[in-house]
Amino acid sequence: MVEKEKYSLTDIAFEISKDEATFRVCVNQNVVDRPLRRDEFGLWKVPTVHSICSAAPAYERVNATFVTLARNGDIWEIAKSIRQVEDRFNRNYHYDWVFLNDVPFNDQFIKITTALVSGKTHYGVIPKEHWSFPDFIDQAKAAKVRQDMKEKQVIYGDSISYRHMCRFESGFFFRQELLQKFDYYWRVEPSIEYFCDIGFDPFKFMKDNKKKYSFVISLYEYRDTVATIWDSVKKFMEKYPQHIAEDNNLEFVSEDGGKTYNLCHFWSNFEIGDLNWLRSQAYLDYFDILDKDGGFFYERWGDAPVHSIAAALMLKKEEIHFFNEIAYRHVPFVHCPTGEQMRLDLKCHCNPRDNFDWKGYSLCLAPRVNRTAACQKVAHKRQNEV
């Protein structure tokens, strides 16, 4: 280790650089006797720069990965997302990144994403049985539902691919071979934005605090897309009471003790979670009942309410976490951290007035007494605006 010398410093910058065996913490100390000045020829004189690097103990990364479902045509939008994640967080940690597609990724996608990600990249093709109509689905019935939803202008109501995506994210992404070696995942989608530095390791936070699911935005679902999902959920609760946690968060998804669904859900385009929980028999039993009831195709069940209801029922309250300090945008909603000092410390550039947490569609975060009357009113308004 190099012995540190004492300097009169005008600037100190810290940089964590990648090394195969360990992180090396480099302190770049710019030493100048006086402010910048011109030399005898009128040119700016460059100050002397001293760089002192000292080996630091290896950072023990959590067994975790980013995971992205994307198409080859999404390359430039996912490139923006990767740049956001790397600049705000991963350039200091170098976590791996798993990319999944229902067709093979092309050379351009692989070349660009590999160059952008500071960790290792992995590319997988989704098995056909995870991205197709299961045998038990009545194709004629499903087609009629899509046509009816198109006429009602339900968002993504006539889309087949969107339904395959929701079913995949609900019950199959965590079964992919590339993810089997990991314990935690962080979902990243194309065209997202992070407004603040992430000055800690969320994966480590999840592990150290025994968290199993986390979110930054919550809102109400469109009623027409999940009209019968709670019937399937009640079927699950009746068949598998042993899978329901004692200190659960049922009140987040139901205002009447489990009789009906209030449409609240965590927005799953951002989520950090425990893969071992999703692989558990409890979650697999839950997904199997929902899948067999056909709501992914006979309605338009989204993975967000599926994940959210599962977390609310199966996990203890303290196992679900709200990351207030992670500023995030996925069109059209923004989470901007509360607290001016936090935003300054994290070098945020989001407008706190844009924060979605306490706006009408996000009353799911409000105290229960304030949500009861507002829930159906907001959900009805949302549906009428589509």
Residues with a catalytic annotation lie at 271
Q: What is the dihedral of CA 329, 331, 333, 334, to 10 degrees?
A: 20
- Tokens 């309250």 label which residue? 317
DSSP 311-372: HHHHS-GGGEEE-TT--EEETTEEE--S-HHHHHHTT----GGGB-TTSGGGGGGS-HHHHT
Q: In this structure, is the dihedral angle defined by the CA atoms of residues 343, 349, 351 and 355, taken in order, positive or negative?
A: negative
- Tokens 């956001």 label which residue? 84
Closest to 352 in 3D by CA, of 248, 177, 148, 196: 196
Crossing angle between the packed helical segments 303-314 and 229-239, to the nearest 10 degrees: 30
Rounded to the nearest 5°, which phi and psi values hold at 68? Answer: -135, 130
93/386 Cα distance (integer angstroms):
41
Contact in structure between 232 and 376 (CB atoms under 8 Å):
no
